[in-house]
Amino acid sequence: MRNREHEIYDVVGIGFGPSNLSLAIALEEYAASGPGNEMSAVFFERQSSFGWHRNMLLPSATMQISFLKDLVTFRNPTSSFSFIAFLHASGRLPRFVNNQDFFPTRQEFHQYLEWAQARVADRVVYGSEVTSIRQPSSTATSPDRLLLEVTDATGRAGRVIEARNVVISTGLVPSMPAGTERDERVWHSSEFLEKYRRTDPRELRRVAVAGAGQSAAEITRFLYDDLPHAQVFAAVPSYGYSVADDTPFANQIFDPGAVDDYYFGTEQTRGAFWRYHRNTNYSVVDGDVIRELYRRSYDEDVHGVSRLEFLNLTMVTGVKRVGTETRVSLQSGPDAEVRELNVDVLVCATGYDAMEPTGLLGDLDRFCLRDEAGRYRVERDYRIVTSPESRCGIYLQGGTEHTHGLTSSLLSNIAVRSGEIVDSIVARRTA
């Protein structure tokens, strides 16, 4: 990182996943586009090195979007940070094309993200968590500045950074079933591989996975294949996994133009987005994964084996520890009958809540305006609407589903969104 600890930054990014990585590149490319365009920027990331949902980097998991929706291409198709540029640099471009597949593995896409972040790493401070954002004590003297408190990996309260704009991109928040706490035998999917690698596989004779989304299906498939001695239970709230709609017309909701249609639409049109197209992303599974799981289940029938058990119309409603066993309460069937299942591990692939910046904003939150439903009001340029006492830019990358639509938590629009944020910062700087 450049030695700018005591300087005021034009842009401070909180979190360094794909969204803010895309922003760092957009800033870099803007700086290179003309004299005087350089903006000072720093990004804080609490992980010790770059990682994108590392605990779900399962061997055969593939991307859920085309590789062309990378960090840059939709904003700048000639960027040297594209997935194609990465393939070229890795010497794999011809072979990738021979694959004739729009959807690389998550492991390969992770390599791409690592390659890209290495080229902007001088702006990133890893192992650093932003714990609060506040207004300087005298807003009268500096209403256009914010102070950020940053703690290092040891928990030592460290630096206070001044920013003209902050871009919050802290990611999704894991959600557990009500009445369920995480521990060494009850895991959320977001911690799956880390916990799994710490456990002796011989101890895993009966494992259960809760959920009917992509994470649940991938983990069920993985456990079934990796633990040939184990009984695998899949508690799915639906009658069976439903397919993620990625057909061309439905996929248009992820186009950059759909953000305007959503943002400037009516309550009615916004409602239609959700009513018709929630199944492009939530509680749904890629068709190939569904077929692979069904094939395994059918093969068991053929061979008279019963190691994979789907518990349909079933919710996890609680967990307790009994000796070394984990006792899971399951509610299922038309009478909502409750029964118990003893397992060695329960994996809750029960989804995520949206990014929630309220904790970070602390006292500053009172300057941030909300709608009638209590949600942040957000400008089209992703800036929280603030009262006149605060003139800084507080931008959100994530947590804007209510204003900008389904792409808020996804990769589909990060290239364009980052460009729009840079344009907004530039426009406000020169206004």
Interacting residues with ligand FDA (CB under 6 A) = 14-20, 44-47, 52-53, 56, 63-65, 129-130, 169-172, 215, 397-398, 409-412
How far is C-alpha 131 from the chain's CA centre? 20
349 binds, among ligand FDA, ligand NAP, none (CB under 5 to 8 A by kind): ligand NAP
CB 23 within 8 A of CB 398: no
Alpha-carbon distance of 80 to 83, in angstroms, equals 9
Give the burial class of 3: count Cβ atoms within 10 A of its Cβ; 0-12 exposed, 13-18 middle, 19 or more buried: exposed
Q: What is the footprint of ligand NAP within residues 142-181 (CB under 6 A)?
A: 177
In the complex, minimum distance from the CB of residue 124 to ligand FDA, in angstroms, rounded to a whole number: 10
User: With binding defined as CB under 6 A, does residue 207 bind ligand NAP?
Assistant: no
Residue 224 vs residues 92, 184, 296: alpha-carbon distances, Å:
32, 20, 9
Quick one: 150 or 330, whose CB is closer to ligand FDA? 150
Closest CA to 16 of 106, 129, 109: 129
Pairwise CA distance, residues 424 & 287, whole Å: 39
Give the residue among 168, 210, 203 at the shortest CA–CA distance from 184: 203
Given the complex with ligand FDA, which of 177 and 398 has the nearer CB atom?
Answer: 398
Select from 213, 393, 399, 405 the one that contacts ligand NAP (CB under 6 A).
Answer: 213
Tracing tokens 């700087």 back to the chain, one arrives at 429
Q: Binding residue for ligand NAP (CB under 6 A) from 316, 341, 414, 421?
A: 316
Q: Which of 214, 326, 397, 424 binds ligand NAP (CB under 6 A)?
A: 214
For the chain, the C-alpha Rg in angstroms (whole number) is: 23
Of 7, 5, 11, nearest in space to 397 by CA: 11
Residues 114, 108: Cα–Cα separation, whole Å:
10
Residue number with CB closer to ligand FDA (24 or 235): 24
Spatial distance between the Cα atoms of 184 and 299, rounded to a whole number of angstroms: 32
Q: Mask of contacts with ligand NAP, 217-256, x by CB under 6 A?
A: -x----------------x-x-------------------
Rounded least distance, CB 173 to ligand NAP, Å: 12
- Please, what is the minimum distance in Å from the beta carbon of residue 210 to ligand NAP? 4
The reply to whether 69 sits near ligand NAP by the rule CB under 6 A is: no
Which partner, ligand FDA, ligand NAP, none, binds residue 281 by CB below 5 to 8 Å per kind?
ligand NAP
Strand partners, 147: 134, 162
Q: Three-state SS for 168?
A: strand
> In terms of CB distance, is 398 or 405 closer to ligand FDA?
398
Q: Is the CB of 117 or the CB of 281 nearer to ligand NAP? A: 281
- The DSSP line for 318-368 is EEEEETTEEEEEEEETTTTEEEEEEESEEEE---EEPP--HHHHGGGGGGB
Instruction: For tokens 């009658």, name the residue.
Output: 239
Q: Which does 185 bind (CB under 5 to 8 A by kind): ligand FDA, ligand NAP, none?
A: none
User: Please, what is the minimum distance in Å from the beta carbon of residue 254 to ligand FDA?
Assistant: 8
β-pairing, 314-322 vs 325-332, is: antiparallel
Binding mask 339-378 for ligand NAP (x = CB under 6 A): ----------xxxx--------------------------
Residue 210 interacts, among ligand FDA, ligand NAP, none and using kind-specific CB cut-offs from 5 to 8 Å, with ligand NAP
Cβ 386 to ligand FDA, closest distance in Å?
Answer: 20
- Report the interface residues with ligand NAP, using CB under 6 A: 56, 61-64, 106, 177, 189, 210-216, 218, 235, 237, 281-283, 315-316, 349-352
